[in-house]
Amino acid sequence: MLIIGIAGGTGSGKTTVVNQILNQLPDNEVGIISQDSYYKATDNLSYEERTKINFDHPRAIDFELLVNHLMTLKSGDYIDQPIYSFVTHNRSKDTIKTHPKKVIIVEGILIFNNQKLRDLCDIKIFVHADADERLIRRVKRDIQERGRDINEVLSRYQDTLKPMHEQFIEPTKNFADIIIPNDRYNTVAIDIVRTVINEKLT
């Protein structure tokens, strides 16, 4: 099994890049694991308390489970992948049965921050977009798709997102094998990554 890690700041375009890579690849041979699914369960907290969690700090992620799940898939077994809700800020009770594939893409802001996870990745890709571009995309996406208002997005950006990005995410660019500049749609970079994957699949 080939494991491809795709990291980058929020709004850099990781999900978009993953979808572009998937396009034209046989879907029964490629699976996706999102770091977002592995936010720690916080059933012990009230909704109000959960809104105050720093979601951009590595301690918010259950890396142990994520690494275990990747190792399980690598060994040929299925996993019960958690499902996360950005509305309740918590894991749901349900899971998705996920089977091993020839290629697994794991994507998330902090995946290169964890050494075990880095070591599991055969190819490490970092998607870059400038901070102002990412903020604009984040504002639009969080209001349109994640039910947030402008004050929530901007205060989260100032209080946690920006400092955590500088401390824990941007430095992991140094671990990347490939950096995709994504201030604009980058079809050349996507074609290169797709070619690499296709070579591994054949």
Ligand X SMILES: Nc1ccn([C@@H]2O[C@H](COP(=O)(O)O)[C@@H](O)[C@H]2O)c(=O)n1
Ligand Y SMILES: Nc1ncnc2c1ncn2[C@@H]1O[C@H](COP(=O)(O)OP(=O)(O)O)[C@@H](O)[C@H]1O
Site residues for ligand X per CB under 6 A: 10-11, 14, 36, 39, 55-56, 86, 89, 109, 161
Binding mask 14-53 for ligand Y (x = CB under 6 A): xxx-------------------------------------
Out of ligand Y, ligand X, none, what residue 2 binds, judged by CB under 5 to 8 A for its kind, is: none
Window of 3-11, 65-73, 149-157, 160-168 that interacts with ligand Y by CB under 6 A: 3-11
137 touches ligand Y by CB under 6 A: yes
Toward ligand Y, which CB reaches closer, 12 or 98?
Answer: 12
Q: To which residue do tokens 């694991």 refer?
A: 33
SS3 call for 79:
strand
Toward ligand X, which CB reaches closer, 24 or 51?
Answer: 51
Residue 160 to residue 146: CA distance in whole angstroms: 18
Which tokens is 163 given? 């400092």
Toward ligand X, which CB reaches closer, 39 or 126?
Answer: 39
SS3 call for 121:
coil
Window of 93-101, 115-123, 162-170, 181-189 that interacts with ligand Y by CB under 6 A: 181-189
Q: Which amino acid is at 142?
A: D
Residue 58 phi/psi, 5° resolution?
A: -55, -30
Residue 10 to residue 24: CA distance in whole angstroms: 25
Cα 69 to its chain centre, rounded Å, is 15
Signed CA dihedral, 159, 162, 167, 172: sign only: positive
57 touches ligand Y by CB under 6 A: no
- Of 90, 114, 172, 182, the residue at the interface with ligand Y (CB under 6 A) is 182
Toward ligand X, which CB reaches closer, 71 or 136?
Answer: 136
Q: Are 1 and 74 in contact (CB under 8 A)?
A: yes
Out of ligand X, ligand Y, none, what residue 182 binds, judged by CB under 5 to 8 A for its kind, is: ligand Y
108 touches ligand Y by CB under 6 A: no
Q: Which amino acid is at 137?
A: R
The helix (H) or strand (E) run that includes residue 124 is strand 123-128
Out of ligand X, ligand Y, none, what residue 62 binds, judged by CB under 5 to 8 A for its kind, is: none
